């Protein structure tokens, strides 16, 4: 069971949304706006003031970090003197905090235009500073009524402010995942915010004008702010409030430095949450993954850089542990002192016990080794193969002994293969890879007959055979009269199409598996007549095991999978101007249709091999009855080159 209360704020998101501000003011029924800003944002604030026109009643540009109460009191005088009925704040956490402080005391509606990624605009949380102490409260009275996100405003945001406020937003998402109030809805917001920020922030550092990265970061800030406003926070936020309110450290920079250390502290208390964060980051350990992300950015990396001294550590730990608060791991003074000492020095936190080594740099090095490959498709295939193989090895924690066994397995697979037996195809078939490739390659034209795997027993150049011939040529088995037609996707017969047919005998063996068989048996090449038809005799196919005496068979034995294929007849249909169709027709009611060992059965290929008696269409009358197969194959035109 969980509960979730949706944020009631109206959100406007996009590019150029500043132009909507006058309409948003009128939507609230307001006519006298107090515009809040700060000197660094004088330009955007001037544009907002101009767009508001007669709706602007007053302007206050003295917003300060940590929302000092004395600044709020000065702003309240402006509210009173100008009969203000709406507060509009443009900027980061400082102007948003001032708007909330005014709303707390006046109940005035707020419109917030964020220019950073801090996310406080989406919360009912207000932190204020007085007499060197910062206090925080949560009340719906400070929840902004409207939030207008304009991506354009962030394009000129200084890079360091962009990055530190982005990590500040990430901190909201991280702590939401191990909050006592955590729920599946907020979890999704949090994980998506972390994913977006981890991707966007390095791109913003490389190119501050990257509109896509800016948009992703702002969207992440919205999500992270929603997390902050929906569930309680923990140790990280408590520490940052302590460091900001009592030591006057800059807000977002402090969040940036402290976050990986707070995560490392809580790893043993919230292993599942930290594991999910690591998965989103693509790293073996969440705390060190965030540390490495921050270390790659041009931002402060230690509390020492922010003016915090080693002598301050004990005092800060005392303040941070003075009152109990929810946290997944017990908060102790010694533990917090250790955390702050690491953050003061900026040393990399130790990964969680049992964490796998971070092999991303090795994978990147190998991928990069193929960067100069002239053939772009070959480069793509090899680089993606490396990424996939490395990921598999890491995710499964592959051991040296297992790797050596795998190499031996592949070696044996090659050694047993020859021109009559392709063990690698069997391996591909039994792992389902052949069927995946088949579907991707041949199943994008829904009006054609479904394709199926080629299998390991196809032989190039089967003997050309006349229509009406009997492929069985006296072999035991139930006679099968086959009458098939080949058409295009519009139903027009395709004449003179080459149709290769092959199948197993009554005992489930192909001719190439029987050393005593002289020449091709149950294998032929036909041509369709002028009406696209093909008629011949054969026998009803049987279910059969794939060769199980080699490495693939040993693999199936080890995992207790059977080696049997459902009974079928193979067809390969080719003609210039058309796509070659490789497929199989399966006997309805046959064994193993629902557990074919190569995953080759498709519903559209299961057909009736109907029981018959009396004379066949060519006049032949088998003594013990016979069966009939009728089917129409539809083939598609070859793609234009």
- Long-range contacts, 353-362 (Cβ 8 Å, 24+): 355/284, 355/285, 355/288, 356/284, 356/394, 356/397, 357/284, 358/283, 358/284, 358/285, 358/288, 358/289, 358/292, 359/390, 359/394, 360/282, 360/283, 362/390
Cα(549)–Cα(171) distance, rounded to whole angstroms?
57
| Maximum separation of any 2 CA atoms in the chain, in Å | 111
* Three-class secondary structure of residue 609 per DSSP: coil
Q: Which long-range contacts (CB under 8 A, 24 or more apart) does 156-160 make?
A: 157/115, 157/116, 157/208, 159/204, 159/205, 159/208, 159/298, 160/298, 160/299
Instruction: Please give the backbone phi and psi of residue 101, each rounded to the nearest 5 degrees, phi first.
Output: -65, -40
Q: Is 59 helix (H, G, I), strand (E, B) or coil?
A: strand
Both tokens of 207, joined, read 């190119």
Cα separation, 77 vs 620, whole angstroms: 108
- In a 13 Å sphere around the CA of 427, the CA atoms on its Cβ side amount to 17
Averaged over successive runs of 10 residues, the pLDDT of the chain (641 residues) comes to 79 94 97 92 88 96 91 96 97 93 97 90 90 85 95 93 95 96 95 98 97 97 92 94 92 96 97 96 95 97 97 96 94 96 96 88 96 97 96 93 97 91 92 91 81 88 93 92 96 97 91 80 95 97 92 96 96 95 96 95 95 93 93 91 65
Report residue 336 as tokens: 């917090």
**Alpha-carbon distance 38 to 34, whole Å?**
13
Half-sphere exposure of 230 (CA within 13 A, CB side): 29
Contacts of 412 (CB under 8 A, 6+ apart): 550, 551
Q: How many helices (H) and strands (E) does the chain have?
A: 20, 19
Residues with Cβ < 8 Å from 308, sequence gap 6 or more? 243, 247, 249, 316, 344
């Amino acid at each position: 069971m969980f509960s979730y209360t949706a944020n009631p704020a109206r959100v406007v998101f996009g590019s150029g949304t500043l132009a909507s501000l006058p309409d948003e003011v009128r939507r609230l029924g307001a006519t006298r706006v107090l515009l809040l800003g700060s000197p660094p944002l004088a330009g955007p604030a001037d544009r907002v003031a101009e767009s508001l026109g007669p709706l602007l009643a007053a302007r206050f540009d003295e917003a300060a970090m940590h929302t000092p109460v004395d600044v709020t009191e000065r702003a309240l005088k402006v509210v009173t003197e100008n009969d203000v009925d709406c507060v509009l704040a443009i900027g980061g956490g400082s102007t948003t905090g001032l708007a909330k402080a005014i709303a707390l005391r006046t109940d005035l509606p707020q419109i917030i235009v964020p220019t950073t990624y801090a996310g406080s605009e989406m919360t009912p949380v207000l932190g204020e500073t007085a007499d060197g102490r910062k206090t925080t409260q949560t009340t719906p009275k400070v929840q902004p009524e409207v939030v207008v996100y304009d991506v354009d405003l962030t394009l000129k945001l200084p890079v360091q402010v962009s990055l530190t406020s982005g990590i500040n937003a990430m901190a909201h998402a991280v702590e939401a995942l191990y909050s006592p109030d955590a729920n599946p809805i907020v979890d999704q917001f949090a994980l998506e915010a972390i994913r977006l920020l981890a991707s966007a922030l390095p791109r913003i550092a490389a190119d501050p004008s990257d509109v896509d990265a800016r948009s992703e970061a702002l969207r992440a800030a919205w999500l992270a702010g929603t997390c902050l406003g929906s569930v309680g926070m923990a140790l990280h936020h408590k520490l940052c409030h302590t460091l900001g309110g009592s030591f006057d450290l800059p807000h977002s920079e402090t969040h940036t430095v402290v976050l990986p250390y707070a995560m490392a502290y809580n790893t043993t208390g919230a292993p599942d949450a930290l594991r999910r964060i690591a998965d989103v980051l693509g790293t073996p350990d969440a705390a060190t993954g965030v540390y490495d992300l921050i270390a790659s950015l041009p931002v402060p990396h230690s509390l020492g850089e922010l003016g915090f001294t080693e002598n301050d550590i004990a005092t800060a730990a005392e303040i941070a542990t003075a009152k109990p608060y929810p946290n997944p791991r017990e908060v102790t003074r010694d533990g917090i002192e250790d955390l702050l000492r690491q953050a003061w020095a900026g040393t990399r936190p130790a990964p969680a016990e049992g964490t796998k080594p971070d092999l991303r740099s090795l994978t990147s090095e190998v991928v990069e080794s193929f960067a100069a490959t002239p053939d772009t498709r070959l480069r793509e295939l090899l680089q993606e193969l490396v990424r996939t193989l490395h990921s598999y090895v890491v995710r499964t924690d592959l051991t040296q002994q297992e790797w050596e066994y795998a190499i031996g397995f592949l070696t044996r697979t090659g050694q047993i293969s020859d021109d009559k037996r392709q063990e690698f195809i069997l391996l591909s078939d039994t792992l389902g890879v052949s069927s995946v490739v088949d579907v991707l390659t041949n199943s994008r034209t829904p009006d054609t007959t479904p394709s199926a795997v080629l299998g390991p027993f196809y032989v190039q150049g089967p003997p050309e055979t006349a229509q009406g011939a009997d492929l069985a040529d006296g072999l035991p088995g139930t006679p099968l009269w086959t009458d098939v037609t080949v058409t295009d996707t519009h139903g027009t017969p395709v004449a003179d199409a080459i149709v290769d047919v092959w199948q197993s005998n009554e005992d489930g063996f192909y001719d190439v598996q029987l050393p005593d068989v002289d020449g091709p048996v149950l294998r032929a090449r036909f041509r369709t007549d002028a009406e696209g038809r093909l008629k011949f005799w054969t026998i009803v196919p049987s279910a059969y095991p794939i060769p199980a005496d080699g490495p693939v068979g040993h693999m199936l034995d080890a995992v207790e999978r059977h080696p049997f294929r459902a009974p079928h007849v193979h067809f390969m249909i080719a003609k210039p101007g058309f796509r070659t169709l490789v497929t199989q027709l399966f006997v309805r009611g046959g064994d193993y249709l629902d557990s074919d060992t190569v995953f080759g059965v498709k519903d559209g290929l299961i057909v009736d091999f109907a029981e018959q008696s009396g004379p066949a269409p060519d006049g032949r009358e088998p003594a013990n009855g016979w069966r009939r197969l009728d089917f129409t194959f539809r083939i598609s035109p070859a793609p234009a080159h």
